Chain A
Amino acid sequence: MNRMPVFPRVIASIAVLLLVVTSGCGGNTSNTGTSPKSENLGTGNKPRRVAVIISTLNNPWFVVLGETARDRAIELGDEATLFDSQNDTAKEAAHFDNVIAAGYTAIIFNPTDADGSIANVKRAKEAGIPVFCIDREINSTDAATAQLLSDNYSGCVELGKYFVESVGEEGSYVELLGLVGDNNTWNRSKGFHSVVDRYPGLKMVAQQSADFDRNKAMEVMESILQSQDDLDAVFCGNDAMAMGAYQALLAAGKADQVRVFGYDGSDDVVTSISQGKIAATVMQYPKVMARTAAEYAHEYLANGKRDFEQKIPVNVDLVTRENIGDFTGFGRKE
């Protein structure tokens, strides 16, 4: 009976919603597009098309990684498109199929899984498309053209040393792990424990997973605080969890007493270190890795370079109150 007035209302309402969304994004116009029109002919005659396939865009760190690679490729005059695998190796395989079928000429690749992603890389190799892995590695030395890797283990060894230095050789601490099915989670944890476990006075009173998630970390930390009165420190497997843990400590009035350690070098943690809220983090350089990979892909396509080293470690740096002046979110100050 009131069928007629509803549809105009639907459309009007959609219009209102879209209006809000577009005007909101308009404030900070960023490049979501793909390609430059000019100088796409390059030396090789055929267009240089780079696919940037990232494990997940659900985390700012990976957004920076993916967007920097894409933007750098576009700067160099290549076409580039960003793909999101949503942490799912099957989705990643579908991206590879599409990318190969669509005639892309190079892939910058952040794998979802060290073993599960090997087959994808091999398929691209068979199709004659070079693959440059960034940040996370694949457990194969003859599939990718080159791998630019952030060293999670040694980064956390450095963090572990600083941890002992600032907390002391006696005390109790909590560890918040990332996703328990993820390589990085355990590489970080092992690096940290390789140092800290040598001090029997440092007791780990709880080890819990918070899935690399800020909200989960806050809730887990709140529960842990119910059972632990005198904590000295919290080691978190990434910066999002460090912020969540800090939030819980702040609410419990223990932010001054418990030192929080993170990993990643995200902008909010860098700011928090400068304000004395968080003790330290490890800076990985997503922008450096991404830019280098885009440059390698360009060298390969435009200048015919083939002799890349298989594994190229990208340095990570400890960021503390003492050297915070040198850093900004996701990298060094320029």
Chain B
Amino acid sequence: MSDKLTIWQHASRLQPLLVLILMIVAMSLLSDRFLTAANGWNIMRQISVNVCLSIGMTMVILSGGIDLSVGSVLALAGAITAGLIKSAVPMPWLGVELQFTTWGAIVCGLIVGWFLGWFNGQMITRLKIPPFVATLGMLSIARGLTMLWTKGFPITGLGEGFAILGTRTALGAPTPVWIAAGLVGLFVVITKKTRLGRSIYAVGGNEQTARLSGLNVNRIKVIVYSLAGVLSAVAGLIMTSRLDSAQPNAGMGYELDSIAAVVIGGTSLSGGRGSVLGTVIGCLIIGVLNSGLVLLDVSPFWQQVVKGSVILVAVAIDRMRESGE
């Protein structure tokens, strides 16, 4: 009896995967160009940005929060890095100009991402601002800072060194895919095998219990939001490198794609249940859908309807399964 239950539970975990396989089969039947190696790499490369964002989003949601600022943080980190590569920073009081190397600029972008995430964490834990509101504020602040930094103009022409991040291939796979895959591996291990990972699940499952059992809930939350900030920055760097340009309006609305990927992947919005791998499948589902609809030349009006419907259906299946358990 209990054996049966675990098999059923295992099968239900695979539900997002089944949806993905179903979609791939359907797209392959509809278009003979869909199931090719080139298109496979194409989809993987396109979703790498969303994968980076969504790993962070998964951890935030697992901990019982939400992060609406990921798209703006992506834009600011990309813009700061691009700006620092492109031009020197004058230091009037020293009478010198600081010209960052490409790697130095990349590190600055990552630090900016970390800082904004850390700041989110502080607002949520110290000032007790609900995550939805705190990160909504950050969404606007980071976007505004991006506009100030770029003055509303894209920063283009970032050089060969920086192009490696987004446009090259290594060992047969595009670099963004390597970066995203590496991060997925790292965070699967962190969430499943480390104390921090177990603590994140505990905090999201029941914050009170976690606190009473001696976990430093605030510290864990700050870490989670900081990691989400860094991951958003990585996404911003990949995107900036791919475009060879930091766009002031980059990443607008990406928080929604990212939340959609997390939810489609079976992570519960109320926290404590879900996985990074599920999210990757969620990203793949969205990527397959985006690419497939264009390949089939579906009208742009219908594409939005179809995308919304798929999200609803995927989540409805998930909820049915949850209430069935």
Contact = CB atoms under 8 A, between A and B. Distances in A.
B43 to A, nearest CB: 8
A154 B115 CA distance: 49
21 contacts: A10-B122, A13-B119, A20-B89, A21-B145, A21-B149, A23-B91, A25-B148, A25-B151, A26-B90, A59-B152, A63-B151, A180-B300, A208-B294, A219-B290, A223-B295, A224-B294, A226-B34, A227-B31, A227-B295, A240-B247, A247-B243
B245 A23 contact: no
B247 to A, nearest CB: 6
Contacts of A243: 245
Contact of B33 (A28, A177, A209, A226): A226
Nearest to B88: A27
Contact of B126 (A6, A21, A63): A6
Interface of B: 31, 33-34, 36, 38-39, 42, 45-46, 80, 83-84, 87-92, 108, 112, 115, 118-119, 122, 126, 145, 147-149, 151-154, 156, 167, 239, 242-245, 247-250, 252, 290-291, 294-295, 297, 300-301
A227 B298 CA distance: 13
A222 B151 CA distance: 29
Interface string A193-221: 00000000000011111000111001110
Contacts of A24: 80, 83-84, 89, 149
Interface string A29-65: 0100000000000000000000000000111100100
B187 to A, nearest CB: 24
Given A17-B115, A26-B92, A60-B154, A214 B243 contact: yes
Interface residues of A, number: 42
B245 A27 contact: no
A134 to B, nearest CB: 17
A226 B122 contact: no
A102 to B, nearest CB: 22
Interface string A1-28: 0000010001001000100110111111
B242 A218 contact: yes
Given A24-B83, A24-B149, A226-B291, A247 B301 contact: no
Given A13-B119, A20-B80, A214-B243, 4 more contacts: A59-B152, A214-B247, A240-B247, A243-B245
A261 B84 CA distance: 31
Contact of A227 (B33, B112, B247, B250): B33
Contact of B46 (A205, A214, A219): A219
A77 interface: no
Contacts of B34: 226
A220 B89 contact: no
B46 A222 contact: yes
A218 B243 contact: yes
Given A208-B294, A223-B291, A58 B249 contact: yes
B174 to A, nearest CB: 9
A214 B149 contact: no
Task: List 8 A-B pairs, minimum CB-CB distance, nearest first.
Answer: A209-B300, A63-B152, A223-B294, A227-B33, A58-B249, A226-B39, A60-B153, A223-B291
Contacts of B152: 57-60, 63
